[in-house]
Amino acid sequence: MRRELGRIYAVAWKDLLSEIRTKEMFGGMAVFALLTIITFNFAFDLTGVDRAASGAGALWVAISFAAMLGLGRSIAVERDRGSLDGLLLCPVDRGVLYLGKLLSNLIFILLVEAISVPVFGALYDLPIYRPTLLLGLLLGTIGFAGIGTLFAVMASTTRAREILFPVLLFPVAVPVVIATVRVASMTLSGTTGDVGRWLNLLVGFDVVFLTIAFLVFDRIVEE
């Protein structure tokens, strides 16, 4: 068990180390997220009194699009360089490889959030540093990255993977989008009455889909 944890960490570590040196993915994702937030400003009026409700949506759309770019790229790079085969050659359970890639993807997305959430709060003058909002964001990100990592591996072997990946990911991820946005907008507008049920829904989604993804990953990477 400890050895397996060490291996999960190792898979994520080599991604993070590469990223620290090139800053390719993180830079692209963060800039994209910020640009999306700014673009939303032109699309909707995010300065009015009801900006708490629509702003939360804009924030999550920005994050999920940036996350989608990052997820697709992190898997496509392994596939194109052939290093995915290198991982599959290791005498390691496939679930470990899944969790390792999930961990590095998750860290990338959380870092993007660490930049874009404060910027979003400052630009639209919203009090974003609320535990429930951040918890909702974290749970939503786990679920999104969890199914995203699996679907990105699936899409990476197909023709037109850049198109197929969002088509697979977004309909299945709808509950995450709704729940995360609801938690954020309820927190921002101060009506936190039934925020608990949304957090429960997110926890349920994460547990169910991460478990299934962990179980079927073996069948996805075989040839």
Partner 1 sequence: MKQGSTRGLPGWRFAQGVGALAGVVMAIALYMAFVYAPADALQGDVQRIFYLHVPMAWVAFLAFFVTFIGGIGYLWKRHRGWDQLARASAEIGLVFTTIVLLSGSLWGKPIWGTWWTWDARLTTTLLLWFIYLAYFMLRSYVSDPERAARYAAVLGIFGFIDVPIIYKSVDWWRTLHPGPVVSTGGAAMPGSMVVTLLVALAATTLIYAYMLYQRFWIERTKDEIADYHYRLYERQLAREMREGASV
Partner 2 sequence: MSDTRLRGAPPDLAPTSAPPSVRTVGVTKRYGRRGVLRGITLTVQPGERVALLGPNGAGKTTLLRILATLSRPTSGTVEIAGFRPDRDAQAVRSRLGVVAHQSYLYDDLTAEENLRFYARMYAVEDAAARIDEVLERVGLAGWRRERVRTFSRGMQQRLALARAMLHRPSVLLLDEPDSALDRAGVRILARLVEEHAAAGGTTVLTTHDLGLGLEVADRVVLLQQGQVVLDAPAADLDVAEIERRLGYR
Q: Residue numbers of the site for partner 2 (CB under 8 A)?
A: 3, 6-7, 10-11, 13-14, 17-18, 21-22, 81-83, 85-93, 222-223
> What CA–CA distance (Å, rounded) separates 38 from 46?
10
CB within 8 A of 60, min separation 6: which ones? 140, 177, 180, 181, 184
Residue closer to partner 1, measured from CB, 17 or 167: 167
Contact of 205 with 179, CB cutoff 8 Å: yes
- Using CA atoms, how far apart are residues 218 and 88, in angstroms rounded to an integer? 10
Neighbours of 124 (CB within 10 A): 20
Q: Which residues contact 61 (CB under 8 A, 6 or more apart)?
A: 36, 40
134 binding partner 1? (CB under 8 A): no
CB nearer partner 2, residue 49 or residue 89: 89
Residue 79 or 130 having the CB closest to partner 2? 79
Q: How far is the CB of 215 from partner 1 (least distance, A)?
A: 9
Binds 91, which of partner 2, partner 1, none (CB < 5 to 8 A, cut-off by type)?
A: partner 2
Residues that bind partner 1 (CB under 8 A): 147, 150, 154, 157-160, 164, 167-168, 170-172, 174-175, 178-179, 182, 194, 197-198, 201, 204-205, 208-209, 212, 216, 219-220, 222-223
